[in-house]
Chains A and B, each alone.
Chain A
Amino acid sequence: MNDLKILKQGAEAKLYICKYLGKSTLIKERFQKRYRHPDLDKSITKERIRNEARSIVRCKTADVKTPALYLVDFQRRRIYMQHFEHSITVKDYIIQHATKNAEITQNLDEICKMIGITVRKLHENNIIHGDLTTSNMLLVPKNLNNETTEEKCLEKERFDLVMIDFGLSFIDSSTEDKGVDLYVLERALISTHNDYPDLFSKILDAYKNHSKNNIKEILSKFEEVRARGRKRTMVG
């Protein structure tokens, strides 16, 4: 493997960019943790890779856009997936492009609505993302051709919202986990985008309006989580 470009290194995995099967590809490699017993390390890694791939595929059935998977390789501890070359994270979009003019505000409203609907779709299908932050959401221009630049597409609202990094995701039908998922998102927005205090309420509105199913229970659970913090009390 000579032309692997390292993109990022996190606590769990390294991300590489390369051409694979003729496509621009992102490789997520979960490296070995030396402090773990090798057998345990292997089984934990396998379980996490499997989990992540499962959620990504499940999202597609739930009509939530995620990267396409090109190979899941337990031996090399890697997931090979579609890399969106012409994309920007929601986080960077808000930080770089958002000024206080009206057009951008309108764009932000649109993005918030998409986020709300998307998170709702995940939860309707019992997919808990586990790490809902604006860095794990990509804006990808639709039908990119040579003439449309990234920015133009965003201006014309011709973009998709793609969810990434399902490393902490799991499947659960409980309202507790959905409430925590929303709470994580709220905290992330407060710490990353504190100059836009109404992002979360706009997202939550879209979340509520997309479907009425079970919404009361989820919202009251969310309020409960908000009051006590993410961790459940250890009493009892």
Chain B
Amino acid sequence: MSPEPYICDLDEDTNTTLNIYLFKNVENVEDIRNYIIKGEWNCAVIKPSLIIDPFQIAVAANKAVVSEKHNSMVTKTVYAEILYNLSLTKNISQSLSKFGIEKENNLLVCFLITPDKDYSQDILPKIQGQLCSMSELTSLTNMNDVKSVYKLNSSKGDDLLDVIVSRIVTKGFVSH
């Protein structure tokens, strides 16, 4: 049986569910990156090293779908918006390159699923890698990188996720 994705229902008004899959040892990273850049794939692909918990992505994705509904997105697509939201900088290309994938062969693939749209089953088979359980995410997280992108100096482990999500949702009007 293949590992289950992380599933989270986003804001009720958007009728959207977030599914996140974790892949390791992916062989066709470059192709995947190209499909995404060309806009052929409707999904977000994120570096696992900067994610401490899938909830971090859920908060960013939720903010993205709410902004989409209110026509207040900063980027052009809701998937780019997730990457932009994850990052604290207001520079779009920096956000995309920081949280998007380059050469790493582990990746998190995120789908926004609505009752009439679900591309996940078309895209997933095209990822040549090993589908893993989300519990393996912690072993891929690089704490030093996380602390540097979220400007965290203290090391209080248990509150880290709370601080990160709070910074994500206030990045538009609080300078961090």
Contact = CB atoms under 8 A, between A and B. Distances in A.
A56 B166 contact: yes
B174 A21 contact: no
Contacts of B12: 1
The 5 closest A-B pairs by CB, nearest first: A68-B162, A69-B166, A69-B169, A75-B70, A60-B163
Interface in A1-18: 1
Given A1-B12, A71-B66, A75-B72, 5 more contacts: A21-B10, A21-B58, A68-B163, A71-B62, A71-B169
Given A71-B63, A71-B66, A53 B170 contact: yes
A175 B70 CA distance: 42
Nearest to A60: B163
Interface residues of B, number: 28
A20 B165 CA distance: 14
Contacts of B9: 21-22
Contacts of B166: 56-57, 60, 68-69
Nearest to A72: B169
Contacts of A71: 11, 59, 62-63, 66, 169
Contacts of A54: 170, 173-174
Interface string B1-22: 0000000111111000000000
Interface in A63-117: 63, 65, 68-73, 75, 82
Using C-beta atoms within 8 Å of the partner chain, give the interface range for chain A: 20 to 34
Greatest chain A CB density within 10 A among B58, B62, B173 is at: B173
A50 interface: yes
28 contacts: A1-B13, A20-B11, A21-B8, A21-B9, A21-B10, A21-B55, A22-B9, A22-B55, A50-B173, A53-B173, A53-B174, A54-B170, A56-B166, A57-B166, A58-B174, A60-B163, A60-B166, A63-B156, A68-B166, A69-B170, A70-B59, A70-B62, A70-B165, A71-B11, A71-B62, A71-B169, A72-B170, A75-B70
Interface of A: 1, 20-23, 50, 53-54, 56-58, 60, 63, 65, 68-73, 75, 82
Interface SS of chain B: helix
Interface of A is mostly: mixed
B159 A60 contact: yes
B167 interface: yes
A145 to B, nearest CB: 14
B154 interface: yes
B169 A82 contact: no
A53 B168 CA distance: 12
A135 B59 CA distance: 29
Contact of A21 (B13, B59, B162, B167): B59
A118 to B, nearest CB: 15
